[in-house]
C-alpha cells in the first residue's frame, strides 16, 4: 500500500523527496540503499540535493571520527532549509543514533527523529508517525531475540552488489565501538541467502560481496559455517563471482582456504584481513585473539592455498601504550605480508570501549607521525607489488563505460581496478585483459581473446 504521509497534515500531495547522507563503512552504504528502498515503498523519491528534500536522513558512523560533532554541523547547514520548507523533517540513523539515542534530540534541537541500527526496517512507520503526530521519535532498541531475517532490498543492484550475511559483533576488541552500536552478532539463514542471491542473479547481478563485521564467524541456524555458505553459493547458484568482507584472522581456517581453492573460478582471490598491529603485546591489549606469529601463519596458509591472493588490511597506529619498538613491528609486518592495499588509522578513543580508559594515551603528534611513516613504508612496497601484474592476463568484470574516453573499467578477481578500451556492450561481461601498465591503485591494459 502506498500512502503520502503529508496528506495527514492536509499538506500538498506532490511527490516527497528524501536525501540521505552516508558516512562510514560499506555496511552503512548498504543500509542507506535499504533505507531508500523502504522509503520508496511509501512514496519518498530519492533526490540528489538536500535543498530538494522533504526528508533528510544522516546515516552516521561512530567508528573513528568525532561523530556527534559532525551531526551537529551537518544539521546546522540545514537550518535555513527548515525555515523555507515546513514539511522538512530531519533524522539521524546508524551508529551515532544507536550510541547517543535520545541525547541526540536534546543536543541537536533541529532533529526530528533518531533511529538505531536495528530500527531501519521501522523507518516507514517512524516517518509516518513523525508527519502524523508532529512529535519527535527515538527508536534505538536492539532486537536481540528476533531472528535476523531481511531480504536484500536494492533499488538498482547493478552488476555487483552487497549482501549482508551477519550483523553485529561479539568480539569486543578493546578499541572498537561496533559491538555497542551494532549489537550482538547474528547470522541470516543459509536458505534465505541462497534465495536472495538467486533472485539477484535473475536481476542481472554478476558479483556479490558477502558483508558482515566478521563474516567468517557466520553460523546459520542449521549449523552451517561460513565456508559451507561460500561453497553452497558457489555451487548451487548461478552467481559468477563471490567476494566477502570483513574476515577476522582468528576465525580464518584451513576449511575456508580449501573452499576457496576448490571454487577458484567463482570465489575471488582477494582477502581483507585486518591485522591492526604487528606486535603481539599490543594485539593482546586490543583483545584481537591472535599473536603476530599466529597471524603470519594464517597468511602463509592463505598464500599456499590461494595462489596469487591479493591481501589488504586495517592498521591502527598509536594504540594506548604503543612504544616505538612495538610500532616498528607493525612496519616490519607490512613488508613481511606484502599487502597490496592498506587502510590505516590513528587510534581514537571511543565511548564504552575499554581502551578509551587506558591511561597511556599517545599524543596526536605521535599518532600523526606514525601514520605518515606507515603510509610511506606502504608506498615503498605497493608499487613493486602492483608491477607484478604487468604482462599478466586478468579476468575483469566490466562495470562502467566512459563515453568521452572510449574506455571501460571493472575489477579483476584480485580487486584491482582495470581500465581498457571498449564499448558499453561489455558492461556486465567478464573479459580477459592483458595488463600493460601498473599504478599502485589501478591497472591499465588491453583486451585479449583467449
Q: Which stretch binds ligand 5AD (CB under 6 A): 108-116, 195-203, 325-333, 341-349?
A: 341-349
Instruction: Closer to ligand 5AD by CB, 227 or 276: give it.
Output: 276
Residue 80 burial (CB count, 10 A)? 10
Torsion sign (Cα): 248, 251, 254, 257: negative
Under the binding rule (CB under 6 A), the answer on residue 178 touching ligand SF4 is yes
- Helices and strands in the chain: count of H runs, count of E runs: 14, 19
Q: Which does 172 bind (CB under 5 to 8 A by kind): ligand SF4, ligand 5AD, none?
A: ligand SF4
Cα radius of gyration (the chain): 23
Q: Which does 171 bind (CB under 5 to 8 A by kind): ligand SF4, ligand 5AD, none?
A: ligand SF4
Instruction: Closer to ligand 5AD by CB, 38 or 299: give it.
Output: 299
Quick note: the x/- pattern for ligand SF4 over 22-61, rule CB under 6 A, is ----------------------------------------
Residue 52 burial (CB count, 10 A)? 14
C-alpha cell at 252: 580464518
Interface residues for ligand 5AD in 157-196 (CB under 6 A)? 175-176
Q: Which does 316 bind (CB under 5 to 8 A by kind): ligand 5AD, ligand SF4, none?
A: ligand 5AD
On the CB side of 353, how many CA atoms lie within 13 Å of its CA? Answer: 27
Rounded to an integer, what distance in angstroms lies between the CA atom of residue 233 and that of residue 419?
A: 29
- Given a contact cutoff of 8 angstroms between Cβ atoms, the answer to whether 274 and 249 are in contact is yes
Question: In 27-80, at which residue ranges do the beta strands (DSSP E only) sit?
Answer: 44-46, 55-60
- The b/e string for 415-439 (b: 16+ C-beta within 10 A; e otherwise) is bbebbbebeeebbbebbebebeebe
Number of chain residues interacting with ligand 5AD (CB under 6 A)? 12
Under the binding rule (CB under 6 A), the answer on residue 167 touching ligand SF4 is no
- Listed in sequence order, the residues at least 6 apart from 302 whose beta carbon sits closer than 8 Å to its beta carbon are 252, 257, 271, 273, 309, 311
Under the binding rule (CB under 6 A), the answer on residue 248 touching ligand SF4 is yes
Instruction: Closer to ligand 5AD by CB, 27 or 234: give it.
Output: 27
Quote the least distance from Cβ 275 to ligand 5AD, whole Å. 9
Under the binding rule (CB under 6 A), the answer on residue 163 touching ligand SF4 is no
Instruction: Closer to ligand SF4 by CB, 213 or 409: give it.
Output: 213
Query: Shortest Cβ contact with ligand 5AD: which residue?
Result: 314
Under the binding rule (CB under 6 A), the answer on residue 345 touching ligand SF4 is no
Instruction: Closer to ligand SF4 by CB, 206 or 248: give it.
Output: 248
Cα angle value 147/177/322 (rounded, 5°): 140
Element of type H or E holding 69: helix 67-77
C-alpha cell at 375: 603510509
Quote the least distance from Cβ 165 to ligand SF4, whole Å. 14
Quote the least distance from Cβ 64 to ligand 5AD, whole Å. 5
Under the binding rule (CB under 6 A), the answer on residue 350 touching ligand 5AD is yes
Rounded to an integer, what distance in angstroms lies between the CA atom of residue 104 and that of residue 111?
A: 8
C-alpha cell at 262: 576448490
- Options 316, 331, 337, 382; binder of ligand 5AD; rule CB under 6 A: 316
Interface residues for ligand 5AD in 190-229 (CB under 6 A)? none
Q: Which does 347 bind (CB under 5 to 8 A by kind): ligand SF4, ligand 5AD, none?
A: ligand 5AD
Element of type H or E holding 207: strand 207-211
Q: Which does 35 bind (CB under 5 to 8 A by kind): ligand 5AD, ligand SF4, none?
A: none
C-alpha cell at 272: 581483507
- Given a contact cutoff of 8 angstroms between Cβ atoms, the answer to whether 326 and 291 are in contact is no
Query: Interface residues with ligand SF4 (CB under 6 A)?
Result: 169, 171-173, 176, 178-179, 213-214, 248
Query: Interface residues with ligand 5AD (CB under 6 A)?
Result: 63-64, 175-176, 274, 276, 314, 316, 345, 347-348, 350
Amino acid at each position: 500500500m502506498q500512502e503520502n504521509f503529508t496528506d495527514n497534515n492536509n499538506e500538498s500531495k506532490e511527490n516527497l523527496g528524501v536525501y540521505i547522507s552516508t558516512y562510514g563503512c560499506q555496511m552503512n552504504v548498504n543500509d542507506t540503499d535499504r533505507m531508500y528502498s523502504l522509503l520508496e515503498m511509501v512514496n519518498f523519491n530519492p533526490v540528489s540535493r538536500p535543498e530538494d528534500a522533504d526528508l533528510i536522513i544522516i546515516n552516521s558512523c561512530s567508528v573513528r571520527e568525532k561523530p556527534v560533532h559532525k551531526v551537529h554541523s551537518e544539521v546546522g547547514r540545514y537550518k535555513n532549509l527548515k525555515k523555507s520548507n515546513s514539511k522538512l523533517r530531519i533524522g539521524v540513523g546508524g551508529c551515532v543514533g544507536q550510541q547517543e539515542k535520545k541525547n541526540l534530540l536534546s543536543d541537536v534541537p533541529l532533529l526530528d527523529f533518531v533511529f538505531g541500527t536495528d530500527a531501519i526496517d521501522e523507518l516507514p512507520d517512524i516517518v509516518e508517525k513523525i508527519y502524523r503526530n508532529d512529535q519527535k521519535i527515538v527508536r534505538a532498541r536492539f532486537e536481540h531475540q528476533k531472528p535476523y531475517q531481511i531480504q536484500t532490498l536494492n533499488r538498482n543492484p547493478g552488476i555487483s552488489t552487497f549482501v549482508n550475511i551477519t550483523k553485529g559483533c561479539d568480539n569486543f576488541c578493546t578499541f572498537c565501538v561496533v559491538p555497542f552500536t551494532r549489537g550482538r552478532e547474528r547470522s541470516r539463514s543459509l536458505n534465505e541467502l541462497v534465495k536472495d542471491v538467486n533472485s539477484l542473479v535473475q536481476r542481472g547481478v554478476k558479483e556479490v560481496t558477502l558483508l558482515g563485521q566478521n563474516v567468517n564467524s557466520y553460523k546459520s541456524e542449521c549449523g552451517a559455517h561460513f565456508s559451507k555458505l561460500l561453497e553452497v553459493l558457489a555451487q548451487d547458484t548461478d552467481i559468477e563471482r563471490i567476494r566477502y568482507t570483513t574476515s577476522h584472522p582468528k576465525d580464518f581456517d584451513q576449511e575456508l582456504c580449501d573452499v576457496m581453492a576448490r571454487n577458484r573460478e567463482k570465489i575471488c582471490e582477494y582477502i581483507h584481513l585486518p591485522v591492526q598491529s604487528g606486535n603481539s603485546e599490543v594485539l593482546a591489549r586490543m583483545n584481537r585473539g591472535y599473536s603476530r606469529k599466529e597471524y603470519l601463519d594464517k597468511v602463509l596458509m592463505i598464500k599456499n592455498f590461494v595462489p596469487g591472493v591479493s591481501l589488504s588490511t586495517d592498521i591502527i597506529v598509536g594504540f594506548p601504550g604503543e612504544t616505538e619498538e612495538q610500532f616498528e613491528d607493525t612496519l616490519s609486518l607490512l613488508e613481511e605480508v606484502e599487502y597490496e592495499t592498506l587502510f590505516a588509522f590513528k587510534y581514537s578513543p571511543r565511548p564504552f570501549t575499554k581502551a578509551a580508559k587506558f591511561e597511556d594515551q599517545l599524543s596526536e603528534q605521535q599518532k600523526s607521525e606514525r601514520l605518515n611513516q606507515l603510509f610511506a613504508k606502504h608506498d615503498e612496497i605497493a608499487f613493486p607489488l602492483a608491477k607484478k601484474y604487468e604482462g599478466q592476463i586478468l579476468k575483469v568484470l566490466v562495470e562502467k563505460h566512459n563515453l568521452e574516453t572510449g574506455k571501460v573499467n571493472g575489477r579483476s578477481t584480485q580487486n584491482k581496478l582495470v581500465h581498457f578500451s571498449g564499448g558499453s556492450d561489455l558492461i556486465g561481461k567478464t573479459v580477459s585483459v592483458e595488463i600493460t601498465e601498473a599504478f599502485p591503485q589501478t591497472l591499465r591494459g588491453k583486451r585479449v581473446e583467449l
